[in-house]
Structure 1
Amino acid sequence: MTWDVLNIIGTMAFAISGTVVATEENYDILGAYILGLTTAFGGGLIRNLLIGVTVDGVWQQDTLFMIAFFAITFAFLLPEKWKKPLKISAVLFDAIGLAAFSIQGANYAVSISAPVIAVVTAAVMTGSGGGVIRDVLAGRRPMIFHSEIYALWAILAGLIIGFDWVSGPYIAYTLFVAIVVLRIASVYYKWNLPHYFTAQKKISEIE
């Protein structure tokens, strides 16, 4: 049940996120479908390739593809006056997708008895891989490399699940809410990991 819920939430959130980027770049409806679908399913494909699992299972998710298709169509065809709130909510959709898919990816790796490093990799790639593909196709710098703290929250989810630090019937949902809140907080408060030029500037100031 938890697996299915996370899949549905993540698919809808990332499909809408990709569509929002497509509308911002003034792509046509085909471009919206391509960005939406690659954002929703690209992370799972990359995850399977990296941890040595066949990718054919991704193509057998007919229900999720239909959910993504309708989410993209809905987001693309919204009247213009409703698209502005949708764009403002883009960070929220991205945070929801990151949380849902990083947990789902980590759980998937655990289910095949993968080592902890593979669990963390699966969490990061499932949670952010689709977004990387989306940004590259849209001609943008991938958010994972420069935005306010992003992949770190996926790494945290992978570590918690991989080492089984916390257990309980509602741990997946609790972790989901925590990652969404942390991601939004990192955007709101502009939390960032050290950047090269920032570090060099501080070294120069000390000298």
Structure 2
Amino acid sequence: MTWDMLTVIGTIAFSISGAIVAMEEDLDIFGVLFLGFITAFGGGAIRNILIGVPVSELWSQGLFFQVSFFSILLFVLFPNILMKHWHSWGSFFDAIGLASFAMQGALFAVEMGHPLSAVIVAAVLTGSGGGLIRDVLANRKPMVLHSEVYALWALVGGLFIGMGWVTGGFGLFLLFVLLVSGRVCSYRFQWKLPHRTIPSM
């Protein structure tokens, strides 16, 4: 039940972030719905392909599809009201979604007996793949590749789970708190990974 609640929060956050980008790019209502769905479920779909899970497994998430649809619909109907709360809580909800999705992706790969590399890839794709696809479709530079530390926290979650450093409910809870706290600190204090550019000639 706890994981389901976290997944619901993550689904809402990712769906709304996709809808916001779509509305900023002046897409029509279909584009808003499509980009919202892609942001919430795109990472999981790519993960399933890479670790050998049938893509059709996504259709078993009927409840989360409904949550995503109604979240986007409410945002489309009442954008001004919801944006006020989104500025205050949106990034925090997104951090919860990143942590819960990344950990679920990693646990999924571990249960299937995949090696550490596959566990880490599953964590990163599940946690941040949807946002990556969203930005590419919106013709934007992917946020996860240049903004505050983001996908790195999903990688950390995959590493801890893949190495077996975290086992049991309490250990997973502590890892979840670590990932959410790390992501919150990243955007609060503007942490960034080192940049390297080619000097102009």
Within 1, Cα distance between the matches of 2:103 and 2:124? Answer: 9
Counterparts of 1:105-184 in structure 2, within 5 Å, are 105-184=105-184
- Deviations for 1:40-70, whole angstroms, at most 9, x for unmatched residues? 1000011011122211101221111111111
The equivalent residue for 2:48 is 48
Superposition deviation, residue 79 in structure 1: 4.8
With 43-52 and 175-184 compared, the bigger mean Cα shift is at: 175-184
Separation of aligned partners in 2, 1:106 and 1:2: 17
Change (3 A) 1:185 1:10: same
Counterpart of 2:96 in 1: which secondary structure? helix
Q: TM-score, normalised by structure 2?
A: 0.89
The offset of 1:186, in angstroms, is 1.0
CA shift for structure 1 position 148 = 1.0
Secondary structure at the aligned position of 1:147 is classed as coil
User: Over residues 85-120 of structure 1, what are the superposed CA-to-partner deviations in whole Å (9 max), with x where a residue is unaligned?
Assistant: 324544223322211110110111111111111111
Structure 1 stretches of 4+ with a deviation exceeding 4 A read none
Greater displacement, 186-195 / 124-133: 186-195
- Equivalent position SS for 1:196: coil
Distance 1:76 1:88, change over 3 A: farther
- Which structure 2 segments of 5+ residues have no match? none
TM-score with structure 1 setting the length: 0.87
Q: CA deviation at 1:2?
A: 4.7
**Aligned residue identity for 2:14:** F
Secondary structure, counterpart of 1:139 in structure 2: coil
Partner letter of residue 65 of structure 2?
Answer: F
Q: Describe the SS at the equivalent of 2:169.
A: coil
Q: Where does residue 4 of structure 1 map in the other structure?
A: 4
**Pairwise CA RMSD:** 1.9
